[in-house]
Amino acid sequence: MSEDDADRIDRNRRHFLTVATAVTGAAGIGAAAVPFLSSLKPSARAQALGAPVEVRISAMQPGEMVRVLWRGKLIFVLRRTEEMLARLPEAIDELRDPYSEVVEQQPEYAVNETRSVKEEFLVVEGSCTHLGCAPLEDFEVRPSEGWGGGFFCPCHGSKFDLAGRVYKGVPAPTNLRVPPHRFVKDDVILIGQDTGVA
Ligand code: FES
């Protein structure tokens, strides 16, 4: 691991602990809610058991990311800026699977240059493919570090670009997984269901 990576781990440690606590708290709430499933209305019960989740994206600004839970999994929805999209080809040679050839990591409709249905919106699981830590967003471009923005896992230093593609030479073996999803309206993404068509 380079000194830059070590520095970044230190910088992110406090943030990571906060995120880990928040996720643990959310999981605890979910577990506590399970005994009460039978008392929920059908739609709420289906949601708790893993029904698709709608994400309204109309208020999202370019460069903004939201997190949602689907089946207990953290999902990142990032609205990429034009600059972010323009940077995607730049690090191709440094990526382990730049063309999304590991088929399990995304539905077929996300096998493209941006790993997305609509290039502006990246939808990926917020789970590092090494041992499952939640990666941190790090969208700041730092040319001196060869970093064009993306996601950084503070557990063991894995790095992913702005399409969730893993860099070479890090512990994570594969790209971040793209969950099934589709646009049910221009401003609503349904996560967890695609009926085979994006
Ligand atoms: S869990 Fe992310 S690098 Fe190990």
If pLDDT is split at 50, 70 and 90, which confidence band does 195 have?
Answer: confident
Residue type at 174?
T
Distance CA 12, CA 134 (A): 12
* Nearest ligand 1 atom, CA 170: 3
What are the distances in angstroms from CA 8 to CA 1, 21, 197?
11, 20, 39
What beta strand segments (E) does 23-70 contain?
A: 53-56, 65-70
The residue nearest atom 1 of ligand 1, judged by CA position, is 131
The residue nearest atom 3 of ligand 1, judged by CA position, is 156
What pLDDT, on a 0 to 100 scale, did the predictor assign at position 33? 38
pLDDT tens, position by position, 65-97? 999 999 999 999 999 999 999 999 999 999 999
**Which of 13, 130, 168 has the most ligand 1 atoms within 8 A of CB, as the residue to mutate?**
130
What beta strand segments (E) does the chain contain?
A: 53-56, 65-70, 73-79, 121-125, 136-138, 150-152, 159-160, 181-185, 188-191
Cα 173 to ligand 1 centre (Å): 10
Cα 155 to ligand 1 centre (Å): 5
| Cα torsion angle, 148, 23, 198, 120, sign | negative
Pocket of ligand 1 (CB under 6 A): 128, 130-133, 153, 155-158, 171-172
Distance CA 50, CA 21 (A): 22
What pLDDT, on a 0 to 100 scale, did the predictor assign at position 34? 41
| Lookup result for tokens 């380079």 | 2
**Which of 156, 167, 174 has the most ligand 1 atoms within 8 A of CB, as the residue to mutate?**
156
Whether this prediction's pTM lies above 0.75 is answered by yes
What pLDDT, on a 0 to 100 scale, did the predictor assign at position 11? 52
* Nearest ligand 1 atom, CA 132: 1
